Chain A
C-alpha cells in the first residue's frame, strides 16, 4: 500500500459570503498500491480535483486522513507540518499539474531539471535527463533554452509533463496531463505512465480523455460515492 485515504472530507467555508459552508467531498476512502494506476472518475464538479489537491497537500482536508508511505514510514499528510509536506513532495510525492506556473526567464530545460536539482542531483546530469525527456515529448530543440512563458499551450504542457515525470517519486498525482495534447504526444504520455507502473510507482490521476483512461487505468474510483448529501 502506497497511499490510503480514510474518511476524507472537504468543506469550503466561504467567509466572504457570510460563512457559507460548501461541502465538496465527504468520507472519501480508497487505497492505492505500488505499481497501480488509479483513475478518479465521475462528472465535472464531483470533487475529483479537490481530492487530488488534498492528496498533494494543496487543499487542507476538513477531516479524515491521508496515509502515505514516506521514507519507510506511514505519514498522515493531513496532520503533517508544512515542512514535512514539503519533504514528502520532494522525496515521495510528484504532481503533474495542468498549468505551469512559469518563472520568468528560466529556460525550459531548467524548468524540467529543477525537481532533480532540488533533490540534490548534479546540474549537468539533471539537464541531460531533462533534454531526454523534452526530446521524447517532441519539444523542438530550439525551444529548450527559452523560457516557457511564451510557448503555446501544448508546448507548455509538454514541458510540464517532462518536469512531472522526470523524478522517481514513488507516488505520482496526474492532473489531466493529456488535455490539449495531440495524438502522438498522448501516446507518449501513456507510455510514460506505463513505465512508471513497471517501476512500481503508485499513480492517481484525473483523465477526461476516455481513450487515455482506458489505456492507463487499473481501477476507476467513482468519486460520486464520496459526494456530500446536499441539503435540499
Chain B
C-alpha cells in the first residue's frame, strides 16, 4: 500500500470559473502533496485569486472538481460534501491566511481568544488549557506572552499577520492557503514573516498553497510554482527551474521585470 505521503492531498481537475462571459480561470489542473508548498503567481487579474477561492471552497467552480484527502485517507470531492463538513474542514484541517489580517482576525477580541477560537469551536471547554495553548502559539509566532489579552487593533501589521498565522495553525491543519501573506508589509517585516512561515512549514510538515505576485516570496517559500495569465496556467514546474530558466514568454517577461538587488 502506498504511504499517504506519496498520495496527493489536494487534487484539482479541469477547474474553470466564469463570471458570466468573463473568464476567472480556465481548465486548471494540479495536485498538492503532503508537506509541499505550491506557489501560484501572476499579476492582478490573472485569475490566481479566483483559483484560490475555488480550491478553498470559498467560490463554487463553474466546472471541474477539487478533491481533498481526508484524515481517514479517503479522497472526497469538496463540492459534494455537505456545507457542515466543508466548514468543519476549514476550521480544523485547513488554514486560510488572508492578505489583510483584519479579514482573518476578530479585531475586537483579545489575541488569546483569537488563537483559542478554533479550539473552542472543536469543543475544548477548559479555559486554562486554551490559554496555555494560546500562549504557546503566540511565542511560536514571536508575539510576547504579555500581549495575550491585547486586541489585534493595538498590534502592528506584522504582528497582526503573525497572530493570524497562529490562529490558523492552532488546530494542527494539514493544508494552509495563503493569499499574498506578505502583501502590504514593510520589507524588513516581510523578511521576518517569510522566515517564520518557512520554519513553520518545515517543522510542521504543512502543505501550503501560496498566492503571490512577488516572485521572491515564491522562491523563498515554495517547492513548485504555477504561473497564471488571463485565467490560464502558462507554466508550471520546480520553483527554481521556473525562475532561473523560464520557458513561457509571459514567465520570461515576469522574471525579467524583477528589480535585481
Question: Across the interface, which residues of A come within 8 angstroms of B245, CB to CB?
Answer: 12, 53, 58-60
From DSSP, what is the main secondary structure of chain A's interface residues? mixed
B249 with A15: CB separation less than 8 A = yes
Once the chains are docked, how many angstroms separate the CA of A117 from the CA of B57?
34
Question: Across the interface, which residues of B come within 8 angstroms of A86, CB to CB?
Answer: 223, 238
Identify the closest chain A residue to B240 (Cβ): A58
Q: How far is the CB of A52 from chain B (nearest CB, A)?
A: 12
Question: Quick one: CB contact mask for B177-194 with A, threshold 8 Å, 1 for yes?
Answer: 000000000000001101
A82 with B237: CB separation less than 8 A = yes
Question: Quick one: CB contact mask for B183-217 with A, threshold 8 Å, 1 for yes?
Answer: 00000000110110010001000000000000000
B68 at the interface (CB under 8 A from A): no
Q: How far is the CB of B218 from chain A (nearest CB, A)?
A: 13
Question: Quick one: CB contact mask for B227-257 with A, threshold 8 Å, 1 for yes?
Answer: 0000000001110110011011100110010
Question: Across the interface, which residues of B come within 8 angstroms of A45, CB to CB?
Answer: none
Q: How far is the CB of B90 from chain A (nearest CB, A)?
A: 26
B122 at the interface (CB under 8 A from A): no
Question: Across the interface, which residues of B come within 8 angstroms of A58, CB to CB?
Answer: 238, 240-241, 244-245
Checking A16, A59, A103, A117 against B198 with a beta-carbon cut-off of 8 angstroms, the contacting residue is: A103
Identify the closest chain A residue to B225 (Cβ): A82
Interface residues on B, range: 20 to 34
B33 at the interface (CB under 8 A from A): yes
Once the chains are docked, how many angstroms separate the CA of A57 from the CA of B244?
10
Once the chains are docked, how many angstroms separate the CA of A197 from the CA of B57?
53
A230 at the interface (CB under 8 A from B): no
What total of chain A residues lie within 8 Å of the partner, measured CB to CB?
A: 21
Once the chains are docked, how many angstroms separate the CA of A7 from the CA of B237?
23
Identify the closest chain A residue to B219 (Cβ): A101
Question: Across the interface, which residues of A come within 8 angstroms of B36, CB to CB?
Answer: 83
Once the chains are docked, how many angstroms separate the CA of A105 from the CA of B191?
9
Question: Across the interface, which residues of A come within 8 angstroms of B198, CB to CB?
Answer: 103
A71 at the interface (CB under 8 A from B): no
A105 with B238: CB separation less than 8 A = no
Question: Across the interface, which residues of A come within 8 angstroms of B223, CB to CB?
Answer: 82, 86
B120 at the interface (CB under 8 A from A): no
B220 with A103: CB separation less than 8 A = yes
B224 at the interface (CB under 8 A from A): yes
Q: How far is the CB of B168 from chain A (nearest CB, A)?
A: 22
A15 with B252: CB separation less than 8 A = yes
Once the chains are docked, how many angstroms separate the CA of A104 from the CA of B33?
27
Identify the closest chain B residue to A149 (Cβ): B191
Identify the closest chain B residue to A13 (Cβ): B247
A16 with B252: CB separation less than 8 A = yes
A106 at the interface (CB under 8 A from B): yes
Question: Across the interface, which residues of B come within 8 angstroms of A15, CB to CB?
Answer: 248-249, 252-253
A82 with B247: CB separation less than 8 A = no
A83 with B237: CB separation less than 8 A = no
Interface residues of A in 62-90 (CB under 8 A from B): 82-83, 85-86
A229 at the interface (CB under 8 A from B): no
A85 with B238: CB separation less than 8 A = yes
Given contacts A82-B224, A103-B198, contact A16 B256 (CB under 8 A): yes
B192 with A105: CB separation less than 8 A = yes
B195 with A105: CB separation less than 8 A = yes
Count chain A CB atoms within 10 A of each CB in B192, B195, B245, B249 and give the residue with the most.
Answer: B245
A14 at the interface (CB under 8 A from B): yes
Question: Across the interface, which residues of B come within 8 angstroms of A118, CB to CB?
Answer: 202
Count chain A CB atoms within 10 A of each CB in B191, B238, B248 and give the residue with the most.
Answer: B238
Q: A12-B245, A59-B241, A83-B36 are in contact. List 19 more A-B contacts (CB 8 A).
A: A14-B252, A15-B248, A15-B253, A16-B253, A53-B245, A58-B238, A58-B240, A59-B244, A60-B237, A60-B245, A82-B238, A82-B241, A85-B238, A85-B241, A86-B238, A104-B192, A104-B194, A105-B192, A105-B195
Provide 23 A-B residue pairs closer than 8 Å at the C-beta atoms, listed in order of the A residue.
A15-B248, A15-B253, A53-B244, A53-B245, A58-B240, A58-B244, A60-B237, A60-B241, A82-B236, A82-B238, A83-B36, A83-B224, A85-B238, A85-B241, A86-B223, A101-B219, A103-B194, A104-B191, A104-B194, A105-B191, A106-B195, A117-B202, A118-B202
